[in-house]
A = this chain, B = another copy of it.
Amino acid sequence: MALIIQKFGGTSVADPEKIKTVAKRVLKKKKEGNQMVVVLSAMSGETNRLTDFALAMQEIPDTREMDMLLSSGEQVTISLFAMAIKAMGDDCVSFLGDQVKILTDNSHTRARIESIDSDRIMETLKADKIVVVAGFQGVADNGDITTLGRGGSDTTAVALAASLRADACEIFTDVEGVYTTDPNICPKAIKVDRITYDEMLELASLGAKVLDIRSVTFAKQYNVPVHVRSTFTETEGTWVVEEEKEMEGKIVSGVTYNKNEARITISGVPDQPGIATKIFTPISDADIIVDMIIQNQDTGNGMTDMTFTVARNDYQRTIKILEAVVEEIGATGGIHGSDSITKISIVGVGMRNHSGIATTMFSVLSREGINISMISTSEIKVSCIISEKYTELAVRTLHDAFELDKESVPEEEILS
C-alpha cells in the first residue's frame, strides 16, 4: 500500500463539476489500494475576485488581513471535495492549514513552512479515509493565518509528502509535464520523462512555470519524488527525482527563457573596495532582487563598469534609486540600460562532465547574428542575456543544436 499526495490547482477545481471529476480520479487511485492525501488550491478566479475586494478597501492591503482573506478560497474547495467523495460512497475529511499545524514563520503573503504535525492526517488515513488539505496556507505561532505566496499549494503538497514520508507527490497541472522548452515557441519541444531536482531548480528559477521553485527545493531536501502531470489525461508526465546514472544520456535537458528581465549598467565607476556595497545596498533596501551581476575588469584608468539585471517591473524604480548613488560615488559614465532583453538558458546535469557546451551555445547564437550582452554560468546551466526580439529564434536554434527533440540516447552516440 503506497501513500500518495495529489495536488490539483485552481483550474482543476474551478467549479463543482470539475471538483467531482477530481474526486473521481482520487477515488480510483484509492481503490487501487493507495492511501490518498489531496491538496487543493482555490477555484481559479477566486483569488483575483478577493484581491479586487481588498484593493477596493485599501491601496496596499495589510498583509495579515490579506492572508486572512485569501485563505478562505481553499476552505471552499476542500469542503466541497470532501462532500463529493462522501456522495460517491467513500469517506473524506478536510483540514485547514492550522488544523494540521502547517507551522510557518510570520512573513505574511510569503511565509515559509517550518513544520507539519502529521498525527491527525495519519489517524484519518488509518481510518481508511481520504484526507484533503487546504493548499497555500499555514499558521504562524501566534495563531495568525499565513499564506505561502503564489504557487504555494505545490509547496504544501511537497512539504506534506516529506512530512508523511509519502511514496510519491503528484502535481496535477494544465500541461503534460516538463518540456525541453516552451512548446508554444518551439513545436519540436518534447516532454521529458525524468529530470533531476537540480535541473528542475534551474528551470524553475529561470522562468519555467510548471513547478514553484520552493517546492522543488523542499523535494530535493527531503528526496520526495515529484510527478508533474496533466489533470486532463491519464498519460505519465515528468518525474522530478534524484540524479541517476542513466540520466546523463543527455548533456542538455532543456532550453528556457525569461522575458521578465531588465539590464542596467553604471559606467565610469571608481574601482575601489566597497563600491559594490554602495551600489547594491540601497537597491536591496528597496526590496528589489538583483539577478546577474557583472563587473568588468579595470581597464587601467581606475574605472570600471557594473552591469546587472533586475525584474522588469523594478526597472524604473531601480534607475531612480541609482541616480542618487551615481552622484554619491562619482560614477562618471552615468546609467544606461534596457528593459527589452531576455535571459536565455540551457540546463543539464550532463554539462558537469563535458566541456565546450557554453562555447557551442555562444557560437550557435552568433551564427544567427544574435549578440550576447551578459553571460552567467553555474555547474549545470549557461545563461545569456540577448535582445528580446531574438527570443523565439534563439530558443529554436538552441533546441535544434543540442538535439533536444531526440529521445534520450547513450552519450557515446551523441559525442561520437
Could you tell me which A residues sit within 8 Å of B by CB distance?
16-17, 19-20, 50, 53-54, 56-59, 61-62, 64-66, 68-69, 71-73, 75-76, 78-80, 82-84, 86-87, 93-94, 96, 98-99, 120, 143-145
Q: Which residues of B contact A96 (CB under 8 A)?
A: 68, 145
Given contact pairs A71-B75, A78-B68, A79-B69, A57 touches B87 in the complex (Cβ within 8 A)? yes
Given contacts A75-B75, A86-B62, whether A57 and B69 have CB atoms under 8 Å apart is: no
Cβ-neighbour of A59 out of B50, B61, B87 (below 8 A): B87
Q: Do B71 and A83 touch across chains, with their CB atoms under 8 A apart?
A: no
**A205: shortest Cβ distance to chain B, in Å?**
32
Mostly, the A contact residues are helix
In the complex, chain B residues whose CB is within 8 Å of the CB of A54: 79-80, 83
Q: Of B53, B75, B98, B144, which one neighbours A68 at CB under 8 angstroms?
A: B75
Top 10 closest pairs, chain A to chain B, by CB: A16-B56, A69-B79, A57-B83, A68-B79, A58-B83, A72-B72, A58-B87, A72-B75, A65-B79, A65-B82
- Kindly identify which residue among B57, B76, B84 contacts A16, using a CB–CB cutoff of 8 Å: B57
Interface contact B50-A143, CB-CB below 8 Å:
no
For A50, give the chain B residue with the smallest CB separation: B76
Q: How far is the CB of A384 from chain B (nearest CB, A)?
A: 43
Complex CA gap A360/B179 in Å reads: 87
Closest to A52 in B: B16
B-side contacts of A61, CB under 8 Å = 83
From known contacts A57-B20, A58-B86, A99-B143, infer whether A69 and B65 are also in contact, taking CB-CB under 8 Å: no
Is the pair B84, A58 in contact by a Cβ cutoff of 8 Å?
A: yes
Residues of B within 8 A of A65 (CB): 79-80, 82-83, 86, 94
**Interchain Cβ contacts under 8 Å between A and B, 22 examples:** A16-B53, A16-B56, A19-B57, A53-B76, A54-B80, A57-B80, A57-B83, A58-B83, A58-B86, A59-B87, A61-B83, A65-B94, A66-B83, A68-B79, A68-B82, A69-B75, A69-B76, A72-B72, A72-B73, A72-B75, A75-B75, A120-B143
